A and B are shown apart, each in its own frame.
Chain A
Amino acid sequence: MGQALIEIRHLSKSFQTKEAEITALNDIDLTIEGGDIFGIIGMSGAGKSTLVRCMNMLERPTQGTVLFDGKDLSGLGEQELRKVRRSMGMIFQQFNLLLQRTALENVCFPLEIAGMRQSDAKKRARELLDLVGLSDRAESYPTQLSGGQKQRVAIARALATDPKALLCDEATSALDPTTTQSILSLLRDINRRLGLTIVIITHEMSVVEKICNRVAIIDESRIAETGLVADIFTKPRTAAARKFVYPGAEGQAVSISKRCMRIVFNGTSSCEPVLAEMILACKAPVNILFADTKNLDGKAFGQMVIQLPEEKDLAQKMFRFIRAKGLDAEEADDYVG
């Protein structure tokens, strides 16, 4: 930990089309430390896929440098670059497995490329399939596997050459929520067990929240904000960051007012997450000032004072929501704890 593994300095990338020059990345500075699970989040078209491809030079940057493990990649020739790429695995949204090879042969592929003997490659590939929990599907072809299984094979394949970093380009975007969770758990497990640095490109905040320790928010070809996930999640400083932390709020800051509401729980079901449902329904945050509730035999008793948003309509909507749930709600402005 602590040692910079991937350093990006003043990186820009533009594409020339017939009509105009399109800037995909504009003056990007980013440091990814060894052992990080680093999230890069952005809307589609923000340039995040181009950024990850600049890290292993699948896309050559127009300007700026990429340092990997202290080595400047922008100056390397094709042959040296191919060697460096072996220490950076990559997985993709569409898995990109070789369809005419079995799972085992897919994992062998990067080892064959690196010139390993076939018997050694097979042995190593079996270990890797075991690591991703797919040893029983070694002889299956990709089309016989589910999406999650395919991504596991892809992960095993990306790890075959003992890389220092794993680049994930929207690796869970084609998967359902349950499979996404299991793939993310596998990635975190690999990060802990092998000390592997992981870079995750995504458009979903839930992915970042679940496993990343650091995050960079990329917006309109620039890094809008970067820092610890916990910091950005609690105190997003830019509109771009708020867009991800409060999806649906369209990036508008909802300011909390002095307007307060006292909710009295008088024996309603404690199984129902009333407050959370209210926040989701009204798409606005509230602040809990005081709470004293008890759960007696599945019934909730007690009271709670919450601070409401400034906007009057929103506050009234919350009152209506709570009352519709059969709870007592009264105005408690200027509440002093």
Chain B
Amino acid sequence: MYEGPVQDLIDELGRLPGIGPKSAQRIAFHLLGAEPADVTRLQEVLQRVKEGVTFCDICGNVSEQATCRICRDARRDAALVCVVEEPKDVLAVERTREYRGRYHVLGGALDPLSGVGPDQLRIRELLGRIGGQYGGAEVTEVIIATDPNTEGEATATYLVRMLRDFPGLTVTRLASGLPMGGDLEFADELTLGRALSGRRSV
């Protein structure tokens, strides 16, 4: 244990994902020795992401404008919507280069332990999207790509129930083969690409 603010900094850093106690300590002492200007710049960037980042009105992905780059891109198939939990999952699916449709970011998964129910997720927005017209097309297929873990599976089951009654809508789920208990973002491109192309109707 160090005294005062140094320990506070180590504790805060240690709370970040992927950073263990040793790394937290190393980063803290690095910052302690860094030029004041460098630290100020980091501080400003942190401030800006929290204040300045907006989310796409349509899909909920992070975006600098009211609608994101993918939703504005006319070459992407608007009839196809891939539902993911987080913006980082959009990146994971994009990395496969297999997918030419649009996205819908839920903002998490059903997680009663953390007080997350359907109303805390962008499910109503998803249902609204399916009825309406975006980019001149109607949604004909929803691919559910929530994480292959307890909460992601429960969310998928719930979505399947909600989407079941839309006439003419195909609902598919990523093919199995993704490491169970995992996170979509940790699946390698090849596995995720295969899961995407082998998706099955549910």
**Does B associate with A?**
no
